Amino acid sequence: MFKDSKYDLWHANAGARRLLNHGIKAPWSGHPKYNVHANDIDFQIESDFIGLMTPGLPQEANKYADRVGRVMNHGDGLYGGMFFGGMYAAAFFETDPRKVVEAGLRSIPAESGYAKVIAHVLASSARYPDDWKKTWQLVTDEWDKDDPCPDGALESFNIDARLNGAFVALGLLYGQGDFARTLDVSTRAGQDSDCNPSSAAGILGVMLGYDRIPHDWKAGIPRIAATKFRFTSYSFDEITQSTTNRALKVIESAGGTVTPTEVLIPLQPPRAPALEQWAVDPPSARIAFEDSAWTWSVGWSDTKEDERSSRPTMRATDKSGAEATLKFRGTGLSVVGRCSQRGGRAEVYLDGKKVGEIDAYVVPRTHDNDYWHVTALKSGEHTLRIVTRADKDERSTGSQIGIERAIVYGN
């Protein structure tokens, strides 16, 4: 269903849908071997349904998260969904936001990078309980760096799960149970500032109960309650009932009891999974297509594909046999390019050996740009060579390969 879905997707979600459409099955569709966005926020912002259907059952939440989250994420990207699931599970029986965040933290490995960020938020908020901006600054200074995502690498844009999860925790801790303040802090913290307040408000909404959510924040729901969400078969009312039905089934499967008048839940303590991390060296350079480090054969031309740009955004070709070469020094590389419904194919060579291929075809509404990436190389000088091919995906209407930039990892 995810592979064939029609709604717009970006980052790890887009990478996973594209990989699934090219025959790479889960869990590899979320693994950093294939998906350069493995640490991004995607599963984290979609995991709410798991927490909502596992009240008081964080071990059950992790079981479902392990199955679902690996479709598009890995390591810290997976732990984001587990952390959120653990917070939701605790929120049904807890009124103290700090205890909810601490419970979520116990659902992920303490040694993980994600857990260390959340622990920092907890420690700083305890030290500066009345100054959320101080905690924000300390956390940002320590953790808003080394994002491997090729869109955010060496830029102010950070879409990784860890920092954005920290801003959800920031909103909960400093919101202190107040709905508007929780939204205010988690929004103003920045980065993915539509998803983060949505997640914080979702968890707090469970703590409060629907009736106690201030009227202004739910006044618009009746108008849209029966309207189907785009590209789905569910309305708000239908998905709410579906989630309730699933929750009751999960409770019974965990040993609980459901009767017409009572639900008994066998509360579970959180239990963290084994540690897994994507150990990628920090990004060290962004090499745009105009940079002299690239050399190009005949057949390439500068192209502007983005209407918002006043200058070319990539160097592209639809010719077979066209070559692009990049010399770089580092331990990893990500090649960023244009994927579309008219994308073509190319061979990838590293230090003279064929190491992979690029398939730039992507199904509609899938906004992916991960042409090819590699990490854990021996440190030193390397040469990348890309050679376009004549063949293409049978669904493609063209043969375009368009290179925007490369990200170098490690020194």
The pLDDT tens digits for 208-252 are: 999 999 999 999 999 999 999 999 999 999 999 999 999 999 999
Give the count of domains, the chain: 2
Instruction: Let me know: does 160 contact 40? Beta carbons within 8 Å.
Output: yes
| 332, containing H or E segment | strand 332-338
- 227 domain residue, yes or no: yes
pTM of the model: 0.96
- 62 domain residue, yes or no: yes
- Whole-angstrom Cα distance, residue 232 to residue 228? 7
pLDDT score for 102: 98
| 65, containing H or E segment | helix 58-68
- Whole-angstrom Cα distance, residue 79 to residue 69? 9
Nearest by Cα to 41 from 70, 84, 12? 12
Query: CATH number, domain at 88?
Result: 1.10.4080.10
**pLDDT tier at 310 (50, 70, 90 boundaries)?**
confident
DSSP tally for the chain: helices H, then strands E: 13, 15
pLDDT score for 307: 72
Residue with tokens 């149970």: 177
Burial class (CB within 10 angstroms; exposed 0-12, middle 13-18, buried 19+) of 181:
middle
**pLDDT tier at 309 (50, 70, 90 boundaries)?**
confident
Residue by residue, DSSP assigns 76-141 as HHHHHHHHHHHHHHHHTT---HHHHHHHHHTTS-TTSHHHHHHHHHHHHHHHSTT-HHHHHHHHHH
pLDDT score for 42: 98
Instruction: Let me know: does 236 contact 224? Beta carbons within 8 Å.
Output: yes
| Adjacent-strand bridge partners of 349 | 354, 385
Does 139 have pLDDT greater than 80?
yes
pLDDT score for 305: 80
Q: Which two tokens stand for residue 334?
A: 């990500």
Q: If you ran DSSP here, which 8-state letter would residue 216 be given?
A: G
Q: Are residues 148 and 23 in the same domain?
A: yes
Give the three-state DSSP class for 334. Answer: strand
- 369 domain residue, yes or no: yes
Q: Are residues 115 and 207 in the same domain?
A: yes
Q: Are residues 46 and 187 in the same domain?
A: yes
Each residue's pLDDT tens digit, 78-100: 999 999 999 999 999 999 999 99
Give, in degrees to the nearest 5, the angle at Cα 90 between 160 and 162.
10
Q: Are residues 192 and 86 in the same domain?
A: yes
Each residue's pLDDT tens digit, 160-176: 999 999 999 999 999 99
Each residue's pLDDT tens digit, 88-136: 999 999 999 999 999 999 999 999 999 999 999 999 999 999 999 999 9
Within 10 Å of residue 57's Cβ, how many Cβ atoms? 26
Instruction: Let me know: does 92 contact 60? Beta carbons within 8 Å.
Output: no
Does 306 have pLDDT greater than 80?
no
pLDDT score for 337: 98
Helix 161-175 and helix 132-143, axial crossing angle in degrees, nearest 10: 170
- 275 domain residue, yes or no: no
Q: Give me the amino acid identity at 223.
A: R
Q: Are residues 181 and 47 in the same domain?
A: yes
Q: Are residues 259 and 335 in the same domain?
A: no
Within 10 Å of residue 267's Cβ, how many Cβ atoms? 14
| Adjacent-strand bridge partners of 317 | 401
Q: Which structural domain range is residue 198 located in?
A: 9-264
pLDDT score for 279: 86
Residue 386: φ, ψ to 5°:
-115, 130
**pLDDT tier at 304 (50, 70, 90 boundaries)?**
confident
Query: CATH number, domain at 305?
Result: 2.60.120.260
pLDDT score for 353: 98
